[in-house]
Amino acid sequence: MIGRAIGRRARNALIGTAVGILALLPLRWLTPRIRLGARVWLWRTLALFVARGRGMVRRKDHPRAASATTLACDVLLVSDALYPERGGGTRSLMRLARHLVAAGHRVAGACEGQGARGFDIDGIAIHWIPSASEIAGCVRSLAPRRLLVQQAWAPAAGRAAREAGIPYWYFARSTEEFLQDPGRACTAAELARAIRSAPPHDEIARATAETIAGAERVVANSRFMADVIQAGFGRAADVLYPEVDEPMDWEMRRSPLSRCIVAVATTNKKGIGIILELAKAFPDEVFLVCGFKELTPHFQKRVKKTVPNLVPVGLLPTPATYALAKLVLVPSQWPEPFGRVNAEAVLRDLPVLASRAGGIPEILADDALLVRDFSDPAAWIAKFRDLCHGGALRESRPSVRRAAAAYGAMMQGNARWVTDMVGTL
């Protein structure tokens, strides 16, 4: 019976591989010959089909509409975006909030939204307010014992907390919060020098310096960010790495359709220009581009006219994003604070080719997976050719698994930090 079960699994795997190869060949032929809109629909449908066929369960928040309560809370989160979730910073703070709720804390959140509406999300009372000018009133009505503030609303939230005599923790998510114009600064030392020499009219630098100086605790999302804060603002920061979704069992078994190059990048700072050059240089590869933001009309025109093998598929749930990937690209053109895409990929045993920038090397320590001269398309083309030639992708697996183990160690450190934080709050 065991032998028959193994035989069935082997036969099904063989059939699945054959079907995948047969399905992929006409798709590769068809893709350059259809309009951009139809091409996007085709690949997006295929990604969702592969993921769902393997048992993908997309996690969804099911918010319960609630009135804007004025009950006091223990902890108030303040960010320009909390619900709906938008970007890695939002996801990270909401995960932390769920830890607090599980520990018995009363947690509320204030974020930008149309109308004075309230939502209950996993026990977190989310309040929509129209602008940052309403934060002070929200703080007064909810009377929290402590605030957790981040992103664009952090300075206003910090001022409101100081005026009310309430301690707050500042969560630093991006180097864009530190300086209005960093110029070509990229390393922690260069950014720190730019921060220290910021002109008086740099409102972002001044507001962030005030927020950091008045914070009870400063928390960074990578060692790189903590180093910038220490050297630029003279303040020590804890490190709490972003938590990403763990892969489901099926994601560790690659589909035979997983033959595409996937990049979660639709803006210049995320490297869409580099992806465009790579797609031109390797016309036999299919490049799938996804992300929270749409490609600009300018890039859409360029893709439609000159790069038929680059397909912008919009926002996909994490399992579907990587369901068709054989390689993940992270061509960041700025000091990436952490780069959660790298963690998502290596946890799924997917090779990554990324910029040596910001906090990315804290996960990817192997130079074979990093591009040092990351602003030069020629450097990317050469590295891509080396990585995709022969068995190089298979040979990169030990590096990928070391990166996954490094991320696992980060999560162990996170668990200790969260335990301490729960006790402190």
Residue 399 has pLDDT above 60, yes or no: yes
CATH code of 262's domain: 3.40.50.2000
Which amino acid is present at 332? S
Q: Report whether pLDDT(2) > 50.
A: no
Burial 116-131 (b: 16+ CB within 10 A, else e): eebbebeebbbbbbee
Residue where one domain finishes, among candidates 187, 218, 244: 244
The answer to the question of residue 77 being in a domain is yes
Work out whether the CA dihedral 72, 75, 80, 85 comes out positive or negative. negative
Tell me the DSSP string of 79-105.
-S--SS--HHHHHHHHHHHHHHHHTT-
Cα separations (Å) of 132 from 70, 151, 160?
A: 18, 12, 10
Distance, CA of 158 to CA of 161 (rounded, Å): 5
Residue 372 lies in a domain: yes
- Lowest average pLDDT, out of 36-40, 51-55, 87-91, 124-128, goes to 51-55
Q: Where in the sequence is the domain holding 305, given as residue range(s)?
A: 28-56+248-409
Is the same domain home to 70 and 191? Answer: yes
Is residue 69 domain-shared with residue 109, that is, in the same domain? yes
Is position 167 within any domain?
yes
**For tokens 């301490």, what's the residue?**
420
| pLDDT for 316 | 85
Mean pLDDT of 213-240: 97
Burial class of residue 25, CB neighbours in 10 A (0-12, 13-18, 19+): exposed
Mean of the per-residue pLDDT values of the chain: 87
Q: What is the mean pLDDT of residues 283-310?
A: 79
Instruction: State residue 26's pLDDT score.
Output: 63
Q: pLDDT tens for residues 309-332?
A: 888 888 888 888 899 999 999 999
Split at pLDDT 50, 70, 90, the class of 1 is very low
Are 204 and 319 in the same domain? Answer: no
**Overall number of domains in the chain:** 2
Share of the chain above pLDDT 90, in %: 61
Q: Residue 398 pLDDT > 80, yes or no?
A: yes
Tell whether 303 is covered by a domain.
Answer: yes
Side chain identity at residue 141, one-letter code: S
Q: Is 165 left (phi over 0), alpha (psi -120 to 50) or beta?
A: left
3-class state of residue 283 by DSSP: coil
Of 259 and 68, the one with more pLDDT: 259
Whether residues 195 and 288 fall in one domain: no
Residue 96 lies in a domain: yes
pLDDT one-digit tens code per residue, 184-210: 888 999 999 999 999 988 999 999 999
Q: At what angle do helices 340-347 and 397-424 cross, to 10 degrees?
A: 120
What are the distances in angstroms from CA 292 to CA 88, 178, 289, 301, 380?
10, 23, 11, 19, 24
What 3-state class would DSSP assign to 239?
Answer: strand
Task: Tell me which residue of 259, 254, 219 sits closest to 235, measured CA to CA.
Answer: 219
- What number is the average pLDDT over the span 264-288? 92
**Average confidence (pLDDT) over 223-230:** 98
**Pair 235, 253 in one domain:** no
